[in-house]
């Protein structure tokens, strides 16, 4: 499939430049709440990896090697169980309630986890409870945030905002690095408590974030949906042509979805086009979770030990450097997204992932056989390239693409499938990786090599090219229903009457 021509960029729009559009500035500032949630997701993921290098944490919260795997798996098991509920809440009560729950869960879970092992409390049990509560909150956030970043931004900023979501994921590893010199439990309690201020910011900001206009139209609240578009996409201009174009496309897409009854599970699982969408989602989530980067995220300490790097401060310092490098690569990925096609970006990223994976295998095996320091340093280099190559496509593709290819009526359900698949794969990785790393060490990387090769080939045949299209126009790639929305502001009608929408909002050609 060819990329679109981005024709929407040429439609007249009131104060389309960010600097002169107060409404657009407000909207983008409000969306910082979504990025805060993703920062917490990435920060939390990096913590356990850093904690493994801290003896006070190991003493307080673990008793045997499998404890670490269970702690990591607990986060994903909680998300797996709660994902269907998150989809229901999102469709029934709106997207914002999911973010509210996420922030509350982070506040409660952090308080319990930071107190683990204090006094006569059982450290492992309390920390496990903390991981379950936080995991349920993160599942709500990670599942719904990509939807909001597709449905709320101005069409000219949609791809950029969705791409930056991944940059926020790269949690700051400087906190555990700075605390690694503390010789008591505060070495890990302080970094864990960092959850609190960000969760508090989330719960305050989410009250200011407007509800998704597409969800409002789906609920029949057209006046509120139009008010959102006018205020935030046209700086208050009610007769803006781009707003008329957006409303026309949304109404037209909803009419098509209603006629095909595309919001039911029966149709989703029996329709060839809906199954194709789900295939894209499942392939992307497989690439995201079974690429081998989970080892880097959670077991970086184990990787470094395999090549003779055992000092706590050195391990946490290298991890902090990796985080900074990953941010740079994620930003490079956002820059690339506006200049090259989505599938081309995946090809570039996946080539780097494959080559660095092979390099990690070779260098680690050489160190095991020879003990040469140069081989160990080469392994660290390939780990950085491995992670950097992955994040070159992660935000613009792996987080945004699933919500992008799902039409409105199945978006929450499709993202539920994405979340469930993600959690199942993450549970597998969390529990199997430490066992495999302990028993077969670097040979376990061969498993991920095979996954990388297979998913790279499937990406060419399964994924569709979405560059240059609005959120509603992407449906044309799957359904063949071509939307030709009117740009004249007098041509859209507010209301739920299908005849009005078909006469004044849409033409099928």
If you write DSSP's letter for every residue of 477-491 in order, what string do you get? Answer: HHH---EE---SGGG
Q: Which domains does the chain have, with CATH numbers?
A: 31-209+263-471 (1.20.1250.20)
Of the two residues 127 and 166, the one the predictor is more confident about is: 127
Mean pLDDT for the stretch of residues 139-146: 89
Q: What is the pLDDT of residues 342-351, one digit of tens each?
A: 999 999 999 9
The per-residue pLDDT for 496 is 42
Question: By three-state DSSP, how is residue 435 classified?
Answer: helix
E strand or H helix that includes residue 79:
helix 65-93
The per-residue pLDDT for 414 is 92
pLDDT at 72 exceeding the cut of 80: no
The per-residue pLDDT for 395 is 66
- The closest alpha carbon to 137, from 186, 76, 179, belongs to 76
Q: Measure the CA–CA gap between 469 and 150, rounded to whole angstroms.
A: 12
The per-residue pLDDT for 499 is 40
Please count the other Cβ atoms lying within 10 Å of the Cβ belonging to residue 414: 24
- Residue 507 phi/psi, 5-degree rounding, is -125, 130
Residue 197's pLDDT band (boundaries 50, 70, 90)?
very high
pLDDT at 66 exceeding the cut of 80: no
Residue 508's pLDDT band (boundaries 50, 70, 90)?
very low
| Sequence-separated (6 or more) residues with CB below 8 Å from residue 450 | none
pLDDT at 487 exceeding the cut of 60: no
Please count the other Cβ atoms lying within 10 Å of the Cβ belonging to residue 129: 17
**Tokens read off for 454:** 């297979």
- Residue 305 phi/psi, 5-degree rounding, is -65, -30
Contact (Cβ atoms closer than 8 angstroms) between residue 334 and residue 393:
no
**Tokens read off for 269:** 């699982």
Q: Measure the CA–CA gap between 293 and 448, rounded to whole angstroms.
A: 9
Q: What is the pLDDT of residues 395-439, one digit of tens each?
A: 678 888 999 999 888 899 999 999 999 888 888 887 788 788 778
What Å distances lie between residue 324 and 172, 221, 501, CA to CA?
Answer: 8, 44, 50
Residue 109's pLDDT band (boundaries 50, 70, 90)?
very high
Q: Measure the CA–CA gap between 212 and 153, rounded to whole angstroms.
A: 9
- Helices 312-337 and 158-169 pack at an angle, to 10 degrees, of 170
pTM of the model: 0.80
**Tokens read off for 352:** 């780097």
Give the 3-state secondary structure of 141-187.
HHHHHHHHHHHCCCCCCHHHHHHHHHHHHCCCCHHHHHHCCCCCCHH
- The closest alpha carbon to 435, from 447, 417, 418, 423, belongs to 447
Mean pLDDT for the stretch of residues 115-131: 82
pLDDT at 58 exceeding the cut of 80: no
The per-residue pLDDT for 306 is 77
What is the sign, positive or negative, of the torsion defined by CA atoms of 372, 375, 379, 380?
A: positive
Mean pLDDT for the stretch of residues 15-22: 68
What is the sign, positive or negative, of the torsion defined by CA atoms of 191, 434, 351, 465?
A: negative
Contact (Cβ atoms closer than 8 angstroms) between residue 107 and residue 49:
no
- Helices 312-337 and 373-393 pack at an angle, to 10 degrees, of 30
pLDDT at 359 exceeding the cut of 90: yes
The per-residue pLDDT for 504 is 37
Q: Measure the CA–CA gap between 151 and 213, rounded to whole angstroms.
A: 7
Residue 64's pLDDT band (boundaries 50, 70, 90)?
low
- Point out which residues pair with 483 in neighbouring strands: 508
Range with lowest mean pLDDT among 17-21, 99-103, 200-204? 17-21
- The closest alpha carbon to 445, from 386, 385, 498, 505, belongs to 386
Q: Measure the CA–CA gap between 134 and 44, rounded to whole angstroms.
A: 9
**Tokens read off for 505:** 């909002």
Give the burial class of 272: count Cβ atoms within 10 A of its Cβ; 0-12 exposed, 13-18 middle, 19 or more buried: exposed
Q: What is the mean pLDDT of the chain?
A: 83
The per-residue pLDDT for 372 is 85
Q: Measure the CA–CA gap between 446 and 361, rounded to whole angstroms.
A: 8
- Residue 484 phi/psi, 5-degree rounding, is -125, 90
Which of the listed ranges 172-181, 287-296, 495-504 does the model predict with the highest average pLDDT?
287-296
Range with lowest mean pLDDT among 114-123, 146-155, 220-229, 332-341? 114-123
**Tokens read off for 117:** 């092992």
Of the two residues 40 and 354, the one the predictor is more confident about is: 354
| Sequence-separated (6 or more) residues with CB below 8 Å from residue 55 | 312
The per-residue pLDDT for 344 is 93
Of the two residues 226 and 387, the one the predictor is more confident about is: 226
The per-residue pLDDT for 502 is 39
Residue 482's pLDDT band (boundaries 50, 70, 90)?
low
pLDDT at 448 exceeding the cut of 70: yes
Mean pLDDT for the stretch of residues 206-219: 92
Q: Which residues of 215-242 are buried (b: 16+ CB within 10 A; e: fewer)?
A: bbbbbebbebbbbbbbbbbbbebeebbb
Please count the other Cβ atoms lying within 10 Å of the Cβ belonging to residue 402: 30
Residue 129's pLDDT band (boundaries 50, 70, 90)?
very high
Give the rounded percent of residues in the chain with a pLDDT score beyond 70: 86
The per-residue pLDDT for 355 is 95
């Amino acid at each position: 499939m060819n990329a679109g021509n981005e024709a929407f960029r040429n439609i007249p729009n009131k104060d389309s430049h960010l600097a002169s559009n107060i409404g657009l500035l407000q909207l983008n500032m409000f969306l910082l709440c979504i990025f805060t949630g993703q920062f917490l997701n990435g920060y939390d993921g990096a913590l356990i990896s850093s904690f493994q290098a801290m003896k006070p944490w190991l003493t307080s919260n673990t008793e045997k090697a499998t404890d670490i795997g269970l702690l990591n798996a607990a986060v994903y098991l909680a998300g797996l169980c709660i994902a269907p509920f998150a989809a229901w809440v999102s469709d029934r009560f709106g997207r914002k309630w999911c973010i509210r729950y996420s922030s509350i869960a982070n506040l409660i879970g952090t308080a319990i986890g930071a107190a683990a092992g204090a006094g006569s409390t059982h450290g492992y049990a309390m920390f496990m409870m903390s991981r379950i509560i936080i995991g349920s909150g993160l599942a709500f956030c990670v599942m719904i945030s990509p939807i909001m970043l597709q449905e709320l931004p101005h069409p000219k900023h949609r791809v950029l905002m969705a791409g930056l979501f991944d940059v926020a994921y790269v949690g700051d590893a400087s906190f555990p690095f700075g605390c690694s010199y503390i010789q008591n439990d505060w070495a890990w309690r302080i970094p864990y408590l960092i959850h609190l201020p960000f969760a508090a910011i989330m719960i305050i900001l989410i009250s200011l974030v407007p509800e998704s206009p597409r969800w409002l139209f789906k609920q029949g609240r057209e006046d509120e949906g139009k008010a959102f578009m006018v205020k935030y996409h046209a700086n208050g201009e009610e007769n803006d042509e781009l707003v008329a174009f957006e409303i026309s496309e949304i109404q037209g897409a909803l009419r098509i979805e209603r006629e095909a009854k595309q919001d039911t599970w029966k149709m989703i699982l029996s329709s060839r086009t809906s199954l194709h969408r789900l295939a894209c989602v499942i392939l992307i989530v497989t690439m995201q979770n079974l690429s081998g980067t989970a080892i880097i995220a959670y077991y970086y300490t184990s990787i470094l030990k395999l090549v003779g790097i055992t000092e706590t401060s050195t391990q946490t310092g290298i991890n902090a450097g990796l985080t900074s490098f990953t941010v740079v690569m994620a930003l490079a990925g956002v820059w690339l997204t506006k200049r090259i096609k989505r599938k081309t970006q995946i090809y570039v990223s996946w080539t780097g992932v494959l080559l660095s994976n092979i390099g990690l295998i070779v260098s680690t095996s050489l160190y095991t056989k020879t003990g040469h320091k140069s081989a160990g340093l080469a392994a660290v280099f390939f780990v950085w390239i491995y992670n950097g190559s992955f994040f070159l496509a992660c935000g613009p593709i792996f987080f945004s693409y699933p919500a992008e290819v799902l039409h409105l009526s199945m978006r929450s359900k499709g993202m539920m499938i994405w979340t469930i698949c993600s959690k199942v794969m993450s549970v597998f990785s969390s529990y199997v990786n430490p066992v495999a790393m302990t028993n077969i060490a670097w040979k376990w990387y061969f498993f991920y090599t095979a996954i990388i090769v297979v998913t790279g080939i499937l990406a060419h045949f399964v994924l569709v090219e979405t560059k240059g299209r609005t959120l509603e126009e992407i449906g044309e790639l799957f359904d063949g229903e071509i939307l030709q929305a009117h740009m004249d502001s007098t041509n859209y009608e507010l209301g739920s009457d299908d005849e009005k929408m078909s006469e004044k909002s849409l033409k099928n050609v």
